[in-house]
Amino acid sequence: MDEINEAIKKFQKELNGGTSSLVLLSVLDKAESPMYGYQIAKLIEAETKDVDIMKQGALYPVLRSLESTGLLESEVEPSVSGPPRRYYKITDSGRTTLAKWIEIWHQTRQFVDAVIEGGDDD
Amino acid sequence: MDEINEAIKKFQKELNGGTSSLVLLSVLDKAESPMYGYQIAKLIEAETKDVDIMKQGALYPVLRSLESTGLLESEVEPSVSGPPRRYYKITDSGRTTLAKWIEIWHQTRQFVDAVIEGGDDD
């Protein structure tokens, strides 16, 4: 059973690797103003009714990585109720990248579904 | 433009990381007899009408990795027309894992679509 559990965890991790960047960039593309991590987590939870797929702690490294590659930019602002917050917004490069990522996502989704459903769906 | 191209390539690579294992395990689950790499590539190409998403050379490391984790097993057989061929088939662990992977794939697909389409699809 150990090898099966390992394989399941590895798959989930690999799949999340690509999709978490797509999801975060997409949320910030639609946002009307810059958002901080906790806000983003709450919005995703509300839209997907799912708390498990993307745990809140997993957001932060992805946000930082998207910023380091120039797809997001951020600013720290003081908060009245606690420590300062880092607000993220999407950049022009981020928007261009997101459009291509969505295209790749759709192609990959169609490809995978065609194989696992064993037919041709389009 | 360089950072955008980098980000696009990285995304494609990460997404393929998870999905290529799923696709290969699924093909071998449905196969009536053990298959070798080139046969698998041709079958995927025929089912998806897509030659680009999963290049043939990319199959072999994934097949080997699935075998090393016990999800596939293989046997080398001589070929009349060329070098010997390695035939792969799915194991019981592979079938159990595949069922879970498909479940994870469906959840992730729904999650990502819910976010990028900005609504609730189910």
- Tell me the sheet residues that pair with A72: A90
The pTM (predicted TM-score) of the whole model is 0.89
Q: Which of A26, A96, A97 is opposite residue B116, by nearest beta carbon?
A: A26
Closest chain A CA to residue B109? A109
Q: What is the pLDDT of residue A34?
A: 97
Q: Is A72's pLDDT higher than 60?
A: yes
Q: Which residues of B touch A69 (CB under 8 A)?
A: 3, 6-7
Contact A101 B22 (CB under 8 A): no
Read off the pLDDT band of A107 (50, 70, 90). Answer: very high
User: Tens of pLDDT along A6-39?
Assistant: 999 999 999 998 899 999 999 999 999 999 999 9
Q: Is A3's pLDDT higher than 90?
A: no
Nearest CA to A93 among A70, A73, A75?
Answer: A70
Percent of chain B whose pLDDT exceeds 70: 92
Q: Is B44 on the interface with A (CB under 8 A)?
A: yes
CA distance to A62, B6, B82, per residue, from A88 (Å):
12, 21, 57
Q: What is the pLDDT of residue A56?
A: 72
User: Tens of pLDDT along B44-83?
Assistant: 888 777 656 667 778 999 999 999 999 999 999 998 888 9
Domains of chain B in sequence order? 2-116 (1.10.10.10)
Find all residues with CB under 8 Å of A35, minimum gap 6, and list them.
Answer: A27, A28, A43, A87, A88, A89
Q: Is A49's pLDDT higher than 80?
A: no
